[in-house]
Structure 1
Amino acid sequence: MKRLLFLLLITCMGTWCAVMAQVKYSINEHWLFWQGNEKPDAVPAEDWRFVDLPHTWNDRDAVDDVPGYYRGAGWYRKNLRFDETAKGKQIYLFFEGADQKTELYVNGQAVATHEGGYTMFCADITPYVTFGQENLLLVKVDNSHDENIPPLSADFTFFGGIYRDVYVVMKEPVNISLTDKASSGVYVRTPVVNDKEAEVEVEVLLNNATPQKSVVICEQTVYAPSGKIVKTWQEKIRLEAGAKNFKSVSRLKIQQPQLWSPASPALYTVKTQLKERATGKVLDEVVENFGLRWFSFDADKGFFLNGKPLKLIGTSRHQCYLGKGNALDDAIHISDVRLLKEMGGNFLRVSHYPQDPLILDMCDKLGILTSVEIPIVNAVTESEKFLANSLNMVEEMVKQSYNHPSVVIWAYMNEVMLKPPYDKKDGRYQSYCQEVNRQARELEQTIRGLDAQRYTLIPFHGSVSAYEDAGLFTVPMIVGWNLYQGWYGGNFDGFDKFMLAYKEKYPRTPVIITEYGADVDVRIHSDKPERFDYSVEYGDLYHEHYLNSILSMPFIAGANIWNLNDFHSESRGNAVPHINCKGITTQDRQPKNTYYLYKARLDSVPFVKFADSDWQLRSGLLNREGMYRQTVKIYSNQPRLTVLHNGKSLGTVNMVNGVGTIDITPVEGKNILLARADAAELAGCMDLLEFTFKGVKWQPGTDFTELNVTLGSPCSFTDVEAGICWAPEKEYEQGSWGYVGGQPFRPKTRHGTLPASDLDIWGTDKDPLFQTRRDGIEAFKADVPDGRYAIYLYLADLVAAGEKEVLPYNLGNDAVSTEMGTTVVEVSVNGQQVLPAYDIRKEAGSQRAVIKKIQTDITEGQGLNIEFKALTGKAFLNAIRIVKLD
């Protein structure tokens, strides 16, 4: 669509410029790109490649096995032609976002520089344009670390590039300003709103780029949500020559206003037209939506909208996607907000930075209340330049998003005491705390000066003392808490205790839970879930507890799940390397169980959904009698459900807090489950779940085909691509299969141990198969029938290949790097040596996946006995796959 619009505008440029007050079109297509810090003049033509915007150069290297990703410069160039009829116009280039420092050149001349990767900016290129011929645009974007540009560090990837849309905007010389921090030049305030009446104030900023005075008419027309005109009025304005951002303010009252809310997001519209007084010619026009609502936060009772209490429940959101990085199409931004609305959410934390303008447009349209923040994360730099950049970002954020009724909070300084540059014992720590406080107060004062109606917020991590040291409890109007009890430490009840203690100590300050969550890899399941195992089941337990607690505490005004989607964080290892898996949807927005849990609690539309709907290939350890019981979870906002398995009724399930469970005995092969609401009027309220079950027999019989086992873990793993189910380990018993000897590998941390390694395993995307193992294993036995077999030994040396980065947001849960020494092992199969002296580190190095395939014939009922003898160190095995070939 944008490409078509571009072609039409180029074709009709001469005519359109003559009759339209303003022309705006995207120039996203067919840029030349080159990556490097050198000046582009010396770069050979063949080294440039064509790209379309949005674009990032980190979509691949931020997820590969090579530690780190490119942080440097990238150059974009494009030829742009302006017809002679465009002479006399003001011509602007408008960038919705480029990360993070941008330099713009037109025909070899420096035009503008912008610092900050997440706000819009606009440049007047009129003096640099030559009409009737090609103009060379050259844009340098640099995402290098800069101590004076926030964010300094964060648990997300800083994708470089022009990753949002770029537009040409052409206006008459006398126009509505685009140069007030790239805002629309029209600000709508609603200082008084109630059920009976609303006062609306419209401020317009005007420019006169001509050398003469100009007399204009500023005409305002307000439309009701129905499209009916509420009022039209005009003001005569005399603009001096060269006037910039001349302010015109007008006011009106609206009787019996339609109020904006999540249930009824009624949007009014104001159309501002600038006309020549003498001729009536329209010089410029801006159309802005706005909403009429009033709101407040109470320290005891929470949030109120239009005089009524409303619990704010929703998510935070990062602007990235599977395979795309942060260079997203409009459709993804729109779909993300719809996902939240369909879940029943009413609150979005736009974190940790302003995002594509479509996000707030959709929140206005769908009725999602929002908090927007600038990207000061983890720490500040003690410099005036850092503060100046932060203050500029605040001004850009507020002015660019001012008119959105969805915005109720401006935020800044996320977890700013998480990673101070000095230890508390260092004398410089106190001066750092004072500097943090000084910068916070300047930001706070600036925001309140720009917008007196909305609230301010600072999100803290779970250390009261750290923010007391910085004196931040008295700065913002709302305190936000990022809390992970039961994930980064402690247990679920720790959340409740923390919040009650906070309320007792700081009873007068409103509070929001700005983050909470647990990492979930949808491929991992466990009957014995534990912290940091990344299992679906642990994530379920975490959210079930937190949601109940949040809803039960009236003083908690709102809560944002961390996060709407799994998102990129290059420095992470874990089950899905380079990805933070706390999303309630995957990177490509497939809902996890937790999404449906919230929908069951928040959505009023009748709803039924089986948990684990994406777990379509399942396995389980059968008992000696060949039976297996599996607990199936169901989400619904209905009180009772009837459940059928393969057409046979299993009875009624009572729902408690949106969740119900029932035990089933899955059959080998296809299983079909049906859950439906009991009420006759809800006959269509049902869900169907189909999955294939492959039981792992206790005793391998004559029909044996394969055995796939993870070692050192009680978790199962599903390899969807290969169609393989990996069962958890068990100890060997006569007539069965399992390990002999050893103990699970559990990496040590400052706070205990982890159930799996947190290393990125190179050379595989099946990291969980290599992140657990059994150390000191003596053998793996399987009493399988005679035949020809392939044995696959999965091995990984779980020592970091280089210096391992300690991640501050892991709060001490990084594995302590321990040198385990060299392991040399001898492997024999049924007494025959197959690996005489295998040194994995010598062959493959550390942190790399190795799969050793061994073929063998079993005869005379001897079964399979794989023995491991350590020549140095300890023998280990991460996983094993045994396949019968005949």
Structure 2
Amino acid sequence: MTFHLNRLIKLLHLKPIRFILLLAGLLNFYPAPAQKSTRLNSGWEFVRQDLGGVWEAVRPVGAGNPESVPLWTPVTLPHCFNARDAVDPDVNYYQGPGWYRTQLDLQNPYANGRTLLHFEGAGQKTDVYLHTTKVGSHVGGYDEWTVDLTQAVADFKQTEAFQKQFKGKVPLSIRSDNSRDLQMMPSDLSDFNLYGGLYRYVNLVYEPAVALSRIMAKAEVDPTGKQGQLTIRAAFREFAPSGSAQVSVRVLAPRGKQVGRHQASFPVKAAEQQLHAFTLKNPQLWSPKKPQLYTVQVTVKSGSDTLVQTEKVGFRHIEFVEKGPFRLNGQRLLLRGTHRHEDHAGVAAAMTEPMIRQEMRLMKEMGVNFIRLGHYQQSRIVLQQCDSLGILVWEEIPWCRGGLGGEVYQAQGRRMLTNMIQQHYNHPAVIVWGLGNENDWPGDFPDFDKEKIRTYMKELNALSHQLDPARYTAIRRCDFCKDIPDVYSPSIWAGWYRGVYTDYKEISEKEFQGVKRFLHVEWGGDSHAGRHSENPDNALVKISGGQGGDERAGDASLFGGSARVSKDGDWSESYLCNLVDWHLKEQETMPWLSGTAYWPFKDFSTPVRPDNPIPYMNQKGVVERDFTKKEAYFVFQSHWATAPMAHIYGHGWPVRWGDEGEQKLVKVYSNCAQAELFVNGKSYGVKQRNSQDFPAAGLHWNVQFVSGQNQVRVVAHQGRQTVQDEISFRYQTQKWGKPARLTLEKVGETNGLTTVEAKLFDAQGVQCLDAANWMAFSLAGAGRLLDDLGTSRGSRKVQAYNGRALISLEARPGQTAVAVQSEGLETVLLTL
């Protein structure tokens, strides 16, 4: 290194001192070091119970004392302590405290700098201890927060324990608690789990003494898109020393070109102050098709310390037209949306960044341009993905069901709304701040006072507009408050909780007339993945139209009450595809409609649905809890996606049934202009796509299958592009009686995992293809079941789908036995 440096000095004909000055100038030209932040993912231990006190947690990790209690388990963050029991069919999910501990080697590189612990979210109440000193607390499972460790670290480093007992490391202990609490949002009556744990990333942050706590970048543009205004405001950390600091603001266009720069001295104070306002002519606009992002780079220089912080912004103009549609950048945009819960198979809320990225890409590939984040502030990673992918956002606070609590409860709502808006203010994807959900649903408190709820809703509405006048406010399902927010969504579940799906347009038009701005979020129905039907609309015979489409108390129950598809339907993927297909075709013919959002994108866990085909799962998703696509995913794609696609219905339907020579329906979901169907090598002709020709936009054929195996293929054309799809299945003409016998066999082995399949047969040995019996898997010997995943193939207790059920397991040859039981039938045991 020295040799090459000396040669460079000689080649430049510089004296060493001149070269050093030149190098210093070059280094000053480039951006200064960014904030030093590290994710604390490894080196943690966890115990799911309470401790007698923090002292029980600060014994050195891995001390190896055999008499030490309780026993701690190594874990990696993010971590949710309801990762499995949330969908355990036999127990209520755990609600209580849990403890995490680790030891940190803390070396802040900044003289007089601050050492911070930044939480991207932790559920639901959190206490933080450094050794035995409590350094911070937080109530709320979804907003971000920071704890300053600086003084506690300095004090602990002066103790004898720091050097002798902890060998120069600092013990950190965190108590997480999701116990039931009526004075905390959200309500435990909510249709989702209130998870516990450090289920989002925890970051160790080193900052110089003077640093910004937040940057608020307001990017505005007129409807023509010709004039842009970017106003930058910021606030310093509260603990920063008084005085002044040099602040430089740079604005970079999407491809990195600098389009604005300002530098000035500012007083160091915690109150928000304006740094500069930039005017940009013809800014590149952000939209779902072209999500153009500008970079705001703020450099703070104080003494010898320099810190760079960056934010992404986008220029776009939004308008919910009164009594009309939604406009983006002056043009009508039909919001084609869905919903997201932070929940995934095997980890619950503890989704990693790669998981989140995969989920958001799946949504975009489905054609989504809008998402409602239900029912709480979600990970910053989600918002970043929405910005970069071009997905507009409704984000809301978790005031969800239960009624209205006291001052502690209400203060939390105000605090969470403030944090959500300040923390996600810069994201161009956000267009709506949600104030609540189903606030007409009582139960947590003895009194249910509509006027008090209205008063609080007005307070939140005013606070939202004070913090962010540029965005809209909204609520879903609280009719006695529908005049308060800017945008309102009533409850319309046509064809599921109430009425028939063909009523959808009429109901929506009626609700549209009753509000200033209408946006329909939450519609759809449950489907048990792998369950298909030859006659999916049979249940509609029992249900009369004209009932309206609102969801009422008890409608989610599978017992009692009036006839409804949610109770009396077959929960097949076939029915859901018809419901979705009808809704989507109708939405294309409603010019006044701002948009809709299907509920939800992915199946998720809930404590209030123990009797569903997968216990404790809300199964309305178009993908399963592990991202496995259901058939409805492709229905959406056929209406919304732009990349050519074609999908024959029934990829997960191995056996169809009917009479010999019967005409059977084959549906192809495609966005291509035309498609040709082939069955067993024979062409059944070319059909033209017409979105209003239900079902499958006219791409449906009536064909005759042969008894036994059948091959079906489609070739679809969009301009010069061609896409194909094919499936094979067995066609059964034998009729069956009631289930009389169970079978269990190994059907696959991949990557060390064995898959077994249970089937139901009648007394004559004919497979019962419409059987929905409960099945329960168990394992003896070595290995383990891959259960408690909340999926159709990852649950030890599950309803059959078309007379069968599968599960995977880890097995050792000759040492593992798996069994399946179904009430009234003989148990079957299979040794592997």
Q: TM-score, normalised by structure 1?
A: 0.73
1:375 alignment partner in structure 2: 398
The one-letter amino acid paired with 2:678 is: L
Q: How far apart are residue 738 of structure 1 and its match? A: 11
2:464 alignment partner in structure 1: 447
1:291 alignment partner in structure 2: 314
1:149 equivalent to 2:184? Answer yes
1:661 alignment partner in structure 2: 700
1:563 alignment partner in structure 2: 600
Q: Is the 8 A contact 1:708 1:726 kept in 2?
A: no
Matched residue count: 697
Q: Is the 8 A contact 2:615 2:797 kept in 1?
A: no
Q: How far apart are residue 268 of structure 1 and its match? A: 0.7
1:101 equivalent to 2:129? Answer no
Q: 1:497 to 1:765 in 2, by over 3 A?
A: farther
Tell me the distance in 2 between the aligned counterparts of 1:672 and 1:160: 48
Tell me the distance in 2 between the aligned counterparts of 1:81 and 1:218: 31
Equivalent of residue 227 in structure 1, options 256, 261, 268: 256
The one-letter amino acid paired with 1:206 is: F
Tell me the distance in 1 between the aligned counterparts of 2:511 and 2:244: 59
Equivalent of residue 500 in structure 1, options 509, 518, 529: 509
Q: Is the 8 A contact 2:337 2:369 kept in 1?
A: yes
1:845 alignment partner in structure 2: none
1:417 alignment partner in structure 2: 440
1:272 counterpart SS class: strand
Q: Is the 8 A contact 1:175 1:208 kept in 2?
A: no
Tell me the distance in 2 between the aligned counterparts of 1:723 and 1:249: 64
Equivalent of residue 294 in structure 2, options 268, 277, 280: 268
Give unpaired runs (5+ residues) of structure 2: 1-31, 58-67, 158-162, 540-564, 741-745, 749-754, 774-790, 804-818
1:482 alignment partner in structure 2: 491
Tell me the distance in 2 between the aligned counterparts of 1:271 and 1:681: 45
1:22 equivalent to 2:59? Answer no
* Farther off after superposition, 140-149 or 490-499: 490-499
Q: Is the 8 A contact 1:289 1:403 kept in 2?
A: yes
1:49 alignment partner in structure 2: 73
Q: Deviations along 1:385-407, whole A, 9 cap, x unmatched?
A: 11100000001110110000000
2:228 alignment partner in structure 1: 198
1:604 equivalent to 2:639? Answer no
Q: Is the 8 A contact 2:215 2:234 kept in 1?
A: yes
Tell me the distance in 2 between the aligned counterparts of 1:273 and 1:552: 51
Q: Is the 8 A contact 1:619 1:726 kept in 2?
A: no
Q: 1:496 to 1:271 in 2, by over 3 A?
A: same
Q: Is the 8 A contact 1:79 1:135 kept in 2?
A: yes
1:176 alignment partner in structure 2: 212
2:411 alignment partner in structure 1: 388
1:522 alignment partner in structure 2: 529
1:91 equivalent to 2:115? Answer yes
1:162 alignment partner in structure 2: 198
Tell me the distance in 2 between the aligned counterparts of 1:549 and 1:673: 29
1:672 counterpart SS class: strand
Q: 1:282 to 1:593 in 2, by over 3 A?
A: same
The one-letter amino acid paired with 1:496 is: K
Tell me the distance in 1 between the aligned counterparts of 2:828 and 2:40: 53
Q: 1:737 to 1:583 in 2, by over 3 A?
A: closer
Q: 1:556 to 1:737 in 2, by over 3 A?
A: same
The structure having more radius of gyration, on CA atoms, is 1
1:534 alignment partner in structure 2: 571
Tell me the distance in 2 between the aligned counterparts of 1:853 and 1:45: 41
1:135 equivalent to 2:163? Answer no
1:649 counterpart SS class: strand
Q: 1:47 to 1:474 in 2, by over 3 A?
A: same
The one-letter amino acid paired with 1:56 is: C
1:811 alignment partner in structure 2: none
1:414 counterpart SS class: strand
Equivalent of residue 354 in structure 1, options 377, 380, 392: 377
Alignment of 1:547-586 (within 5 A): 547-572=584-609, 573-586=611-624
2:578 counterpart SS class: helix
Equivalent of residue 145 in structure 2, options 113, 121, 124: 121
1:802 alignment partner in structure 2: none
1:92 counterpart SS class: strand
The one-letter amino acid paired with 1:225 is: P
Q: How far apart are residue 285 of structure 1 and its match? A: 1.2
2:98 alignment partner in structure 1: 74
The one-letter amino acid paired with 1:79 is: Q
Q: 1:103 to 1:191 in 2, by over 3 A?
A: farther
Q: Is the 8 A contact 1:94 1:167 kept in 2?
A: yes
Tell me the distance in 2 between the aligned counterparts of 1:144 and 1:307: 48
Q: How far apart are residue 494 of structure 1 and its match? A: 3.7
* Identity within the alignment, %: 27
Q: How far apart are residue 614 of structure 1 and its match? A: 2.8
1:236 counterpart SS class: strand
Tell me the distance in 1 between the aligned counterparts of 2:442 and 2:321: 31
Tell me the distance in 1 between the aligned counterparts of 2:767 and 2:683: 36
Q: 1:678 to 1:215 in 2, by over 3 A?
A: closer
Tell me the distance in 1 between the aligned counterparts of 2:486 and 2:221: 19
Q: Deviations along 1:111-161, whole A, 9 cap, x unmatched?
A: 111111111111111111145821111111000111121111211122211
Tell me the distance in 2 between the aligned counterparts of 1:738 and 1:33: 47
Q: How far apart are residue 795 of structure 1 and its match? A: 5.1
Q: 1:97 to 1:421 in 2, by over 3 A?
A: closer
Tell me the distance in 1 between the aligned counterparts of 2:717 and 2:215: 56
Q: Is the 8 A contact 2:530 2:652 kept in 1?
A: no
Tell me the distance in 2 between the aligned counterparts of 1:650 and 1:678: 16
Tell me the distance in 1 between the aligned counterparts of 2:571 and 2:41: 39
The one-letter amino acid paired with 1:267 is: L
2:558 alignment partner in structure 1: none
Alignment of 1:747-786 (within 5 A): 765=796, 767-769=798-800
Q: Is the 8 A contact 2:393 2:431 kept in 1?
A: yes
Q: 1:147 to 1:237 in 2, by over 3 A?
A: same
Equivalent of residue 45 in structure 2, options 25, 28, 32: 32
Q: 1:318 to 1:134 in 2, by over 3 A?
A: same
The one-letter amino acid paired with 2:209 is: P
Q: Is the 8 A contact 1:21 1:171 kept in 2?
A: no
Equivalent of residue 436 in structure 1, options 438, 453, 464: 453
Q: Deviations along 1:243-291, whole A, 9 cap, x unmatched?
A: 4345243111001111111111111111000123xx6x55221111100
Q: TM-score, normalised by structure 2?
A: 0.78
* Farther off after superposition, 193-202 or 490-499: 490-499
